[in-house]
Amino acid sequence: MRDPEVILRRKTAFGTSTISMIQDLIILGLLMDGPKHGYQIKKLIREIAAKYASIESTSIYYPLRRMQKEGLLSEKHIKTKKHHEKFVYHITQKGRAAFKKMLYKNFLMLERPFINTDVSLYFLKYTDKNMVEKRLCQRMNWLKRIENWLIKTEEDLEKNRRKHSLALIIRHNIELIKTEIKFSRYLIKCAF
């Protein structure tokens, strides 16, 4: 078995960082549903992926150009009614193959989630215990609000029988939040 730390630090098979691979995976996945122009892709990332996957879309045009150069997608120029030019992106066969490879590889990624509390815990000896306890209680309240929102979202998805994959993502996030709440309780109880 390989050293877990090595697994966590390795680069992807495509020579890019994990964040870049996830961004490519999302863009290619959105294009699997059909051609889209850049703004549509960015909007979908914001509306769907960012809501469920903690991914932000800063500039997607650089990855689009890079993936185009790699042959993963193609671009068509379309004139709009207002005589503007839009670039519509299509996934290529090579892009479909890369998407499937990344998708299956992503199931095996064991990235350690970066939780900013860990950094604060590392420097705990420099803190005021009352302030830390106050902040942890505030954190617990926020986590509970997020948990409630996730549970309501899960219920809404079940009522509407919408997208099984989104329900799984919500369930995964609920379990992560529950673990964070449990650990925060432990910190409040045991660390002081």
pLDDT digits (tens, 9 = 90+) for 109-128: 766 665 677 878 888 788 88
Q: Say which residue, 50 or 71, is predicted with more confidence.
A: 71
Fold of 4-106: Arc Repressor Mutant, subunit A (1.10.10)
pLDDT at 32: 93
Mean pLDDT of the chain, nearest integer: 80
* Residue 13 confidence (pLDDT) above 60: no
DSSP string, the chain: ---HHHHHHPPPTTSS-HHHHHHHHHHHHHHHT--EEHHHHHHHIIIIIHHHH----S--HHHHHHHHHTTSEEEEEEE-TTS-EEEEEEE-HHHHHHHHHHHHHHTT--PPP--HHHHHHHTGGGS-HHHHHHHHHHHHHHHHHHHHHHHHHHHHHHHTT--HHHHHHHHHHHHHHHHHHHHHHHHHHH--
In 3D, which of 169, 176, 172 has the Cα closest to residue 26? 169
Whole-structure pTM value: 0.67
